[in-house]
Every structure is written in C-alpha cells, then in structure tokens.
Amino acid sequence: MPPEVGTVSWGSVVRDAFRLLPERVQVFDTTLRDGEQTPGVSLRKEEKVEVARALAELGVAVIEAGYPAVSRGEHEAVREISRLGLGPKVCALARCDRRDIDRAVDAGVDWVHVFIATSEIHMRHKLRMTPEQVYEAAVESVEYAKSRGVEVHFSCEDATRSERSFLLRVYKGAAEAGADSLDVPDTVGVAIPLVMRELARQVREATGLPVAVHCHDDMGLATANTIAGVEGGAEIVHVTVNGIGERAGNASLEEVVVALKVLYGVDSGIDLSKLAAVSRLVSSLTGMVVQRNKAVVGDHAFSHESGIHVHGVINNPLTYEPIAPELVGKRRRIVVGKHSGTHAVVEVLRQHGFELDLEEGKRVLERVKELADTGARLTEQLLLGLVRDDPSLVSSQPLEVISVSLRADGREVSGEVEVFLRGERVTGFGRGRSPVSASISAVANVVSRVLGPVEVVECSVYVPPNPDRCPAEAEVVLRFNGSTLVGRGLAHDPAMAVAMAVGGAVSQALSMRTGGDGS
Ligand code: MN
C-alpha cells in the first residue's frame, strides 16, 4: 500500500500492524555518555555544557550527561549540567555498585542509569559472577539507588545476547525493587528488528514499566532496530547526535526522530528544525565528521545532480525529496554533473559569485555539452574552469580571490589574501588557529574594511581522500548587507577554497545591490 500522498506517513498501515505503537516517545540522548565513548573523543566540561544546552533547546526528554565514576572532571561536568536546570531530566550512568551510584546521585542528577550485564559471555568473562549473583546485585542496587531518592533507569547490558528467561527474571526483579523504567540494550549491535520488537514487548508485558531500547550500529541496523523496539511498545529511545558512540556508534537521533515523525506519525518532542545545527555543533566539538551521504543531516541528504531530478525538484520538491530540507534545518543543493540542465548551471555558478541569466546559462551549458562529448566528465571544477577561461561567456565575479598566502607560526596561522574587488586589487590580513580560519578572517577583513561588516554563520570544508586529484570543497553561509548568502569555493588548497567561498557569497550581495543583470 502506498503512503498517504502529501503527508508521506504510512499512517493507518502502521497503526494496524503495530498495536503497541505509542503516540509519542521520549528521547533519551546519550551523546554525552555513550557518544563520548567514541574512540578518540573526549569533551571538556564547557563543551559538554554547550552540547547539553543545545540538546535542551532541541527538546530531548533526558540527557545522559556522563559516567561520574570515570573521573573527577566527568563528575563535575555532570554536576554542572544538573545544576543548570536546563529542562530535560539529567541522568548519569552507574554500575551495580554503591560507590558508583553514590557518585551519580552526588552529581545532583534526576535519573540514575544502573546497569549490569546478563549475557553468559559477559557474566563469565567480564563480571566473573554467577547468574544468581548478578540477579542479587541488580535487585540490591536498584533498591539502593531508589533509597537515595532518584528515578532509576535499569539496563541489562548485552540483553540481546542474554538467555531470555533469565533476562526477563532480572527485569522483573528490578521492577519489583522499584525501578522506574527499563532499558533493553543491544550492546554489540547484533539484534534484528524482529528481535528488538519482541524484546521490547516482552519486557513491557512482564513488568508494566516504560521500556527503552539502546541499539548499536555494528550491522548498520541501529535505527531500524530502535524503531522496531518502538513498534513493540518501547516509549523511550536511546540515541546520540550523528549516531556517534562505541565502535560503529549508536542509533542516530536525527534518523530515529525523523523516521518516527514522518513515517510513523509518532511524536518525539524534538524541534526538527534544529537538527542540522545540533549535528554541526556535535561534529565540530567531537571532530567526528558526518558522512556526506548520511540520512537527514549529511551534506548530500538534499543534493540533486541529475537533470531529471533537478528539473523535478525545481518544479515541485516533493518529486524527489521525501521531506523538505527546511523541516530539519537544511538547505537544498543543486550539484552539476553529467546530466545537468541550465537551471543547475545558473544556480551553481551563482554560488561561486557569477551572476548569469538563463540565456547565458544556456550558452554555458552548450559549451559544457561540447566538452562532455569529447569525453570530459562534467564536474563543478570543469564548469568553473570553463567560465574563467572564457570571460565572454559570463561577466566576472564582483569579488575574485587572486591569492592566499599563509604562514604557520607555532600555534597560530597568519597571512593575507589578495582580491580583485570590482576590478581593484585589495589585500586583507587575518589570523586563526588553522589555515582555513586564517583565510576566512583575511577575506572578512577586506570585505569589512571596504564594504561593511560580514558575519560567517557556517563554514564547512571537505578535503577529499586524494587532494591532488580532486579539489577541496568549501561552503560558507554569510550574513552580509542584511542578506544570508551561501557561497561555494573549489581549490586544491582548502584555505583557498574557503576564501573563494566567502568571495562567492559576497559577490552575490554585490550583484544584488547593483541590480546585477536582473536575472
Ligand atoms: Mn552503548
């Protein structure tokens, strides 16, 4: 059965198939705990607080802020996040150990997430405890945590590899000991949707408590498994921003909440329009780059290349977009390629600062096709080369970057850029902690001195795996002259690429001011 047209939701189909599907779920965000356990990632206290503030604005129900037993710094960060009273409940992780639980409670949290492993392999080789000892420890720890006046969220670690009747017995014991909610973790990412759905249903049925699912992406099934848990009646989803986390990561917050909302009609309380910004924040603080073709928040999630698709989305975006990019705070992007049409050529060149009308666009496209017939592969790079080599095709950019020269001096990079600004040669100076930031600051210096203040709202640079072969790509969003503008730059040197992207954006503002050519 096709989805309901316009709403795209599978609506009544899912309601008929999954009678336990809740109306809404609570988002339990573990970016600051499991997400921070990503290999190589470690956040400073201020950075954790910044992420927590963003999560609160996003609308998550629970922030798992950390594991206070790990270190003093971690304890302080959790305490600070609790103290701020941001809105969401704050949770901390604790083993079935009184000292761990005390450390968590003393950090001022609302929830303590108590866990113990219940799989044969974990009990024997990690805990070195018998199943009976594990059961006792779980019950005793839940009782203890409850006695300290917090809400208790209890997990059987490695639940999906645990013997089922023992697993359910431990969950029941925890429930009777006073746990407020239970979590079913697929700790090593081996579940399949059918299993998660069934497990969530069984744990809920056995205990009557709200159930959470915690899925890992070792087989690329974290999102599907999380949603299957919801189909089985789970009302809490453990997720991380950008899906960061141990090994292949956790279920991605963006994917889970958008799929639940759009496809299932299940609300999560998340302000979807903030997803892109939170994704960028977490990526920049953790250094975990988001894969370009990642669902919802990837660079290419709303990019269109082929002529048929571009023509389609220009006429009606629903033709090739399941959701509007604005819904999740993204922008549509048109990319030139082998099958591009005139609209794509005009749009892409505009972002590089070239203003042209459809007639000029057609002329450029003809040249492009002649080249393509000789076997050249149409890329953004080829298109730019073409218009730069033949000034008769398109008039030049109002702001053209000529050169960037930078020096690294200890921890700082400084240098200058030379630009043609409406035909005049001007130099700007800048400094920063990287070549990219120094270069942006130098172009911004020229622009603010000569034309007025410019604010860089966003900047992303993609450096390909083989930078000698393919150029680096930069995209910047600027606020200049009262407009918000997207500029793009391509160059083998990433610092040059960002300078050109700033130039591309400023050129658009200048073309608008002078009236451009009216196109
Ligand atoms: Mn985990």
What phi and psi values does residue 232 have, to the nearest 5 degrees?
-90, 5
Digit-coded pLDDT (tens) for 240-292: 999 999 999 999 999 999 999 999 999 999 999 999 999 999 999 999 999 99
pLDDT at 330: 94
Residue 516: pLDDT band with limits 50, 70, 90: very low
The tokens for 361 are 């666009």
Q: How far is CA 473 from CA 172, 237, 338, 456, 490, in A?
A: 54, 36, 19, 17, 5
Residue 413 has pLDDT above 90, yes or no: yes
State how far the alpha carbon of 111 is from the alpha carbons of 154, 163, 266, 408, in Å: 10, 28, 24, 48
Contacts of 362 (CB under 8 A, 6+ apart): 342
Q: What is the DSSP string of 388-420?
A: HH-TTTSPPPSEEEEEEEEEEETTEEEEEEEEE
Tell me how far the alpha carbon of residue 417 lies from the centroid of ligand 1, in angstroms. Answer: 47
Q: Tell me the pLDDT tens digit for each residue of 79-89.
A: 999 999 999 99
Distance 250 CA to ligand 1 centre (A): 7
- Cα angle, residue 267 at apex, residues 265 and 270 outer, rounded to 5°: 135
Q: What Å distances lie between residue 516 and 76, 394, 399, 432, CA to CA?
A: 56, 12, 13, 34
Q: Output the pLDDT for position 514.
A: 60
Q: How far is the CA of 24 from the centre of ligand 1 (A)?
A: 23
Q: How far is the CA of 186 from the centre of ligand 1 (A)?
A: 8
* The pLDDT of residue 164 is above 90: yes
- pLDDT tens-digit series, residues 298-323: 989 998 877 778 778 878 888 888 89
Say how many Å lie between the CA of residue 507 and the centre of ligand 1: 47
Looking at residue 135, what is its pLDDT?
98
Considering Cα of 333, then 452, then 399, then 512, what sign does the dihedral take? positive
Tell how far the Cα of 119 is from the centroid of ligand 1, in angstroms: 15
Extract the tokens encoding 345. 């050529």
pLDDT tens per residue across span 374-386: 877 778 888 888 8
Q: Which residues pair with 430 in a beta bridge?
A: 415
pLDDT in tens, 82-134: 999 999 999 999 999 999 999 999 999 999 999 999 999 999 999 999 999 99
Distance 159 CA to ligand 1 centre (A): 11
* Cα 39 to ligand 1 centre (Å): 13
CA of 329 to the centre of ligand 1 (A): 28
Cα 266 to averaged position of ligand 1 atoms, centre (Å): 24
**Distance in Å, CA 487 to ligand 1 centroid:** 39
Domains of the chain: residue spans and CATH: 16-286 (3.20.20.70), 303-385 (1.10.238), 399-513 (3.30.160.270)
Residue of 370 and 25 predicted with greater confidence? 25
> 250-261: per-residue pLDDT in tens?
999 999 999 999
Report the percentage of the chain scoring pLDDT > 70: 97
Measured in angstroms, how far is the CA atom of residue 280 from the centroid of ligand 1?
22
Q: Residue 264 carries which DSSP code? A: I
Query: Is residue 470 a contact partner of residue 463, using CB atoms and an 8 Å limit?
Result: no
**Which whole number is the average pLDDT over 207-230?**
98
pLDDT of 6 over the 60 cut: no
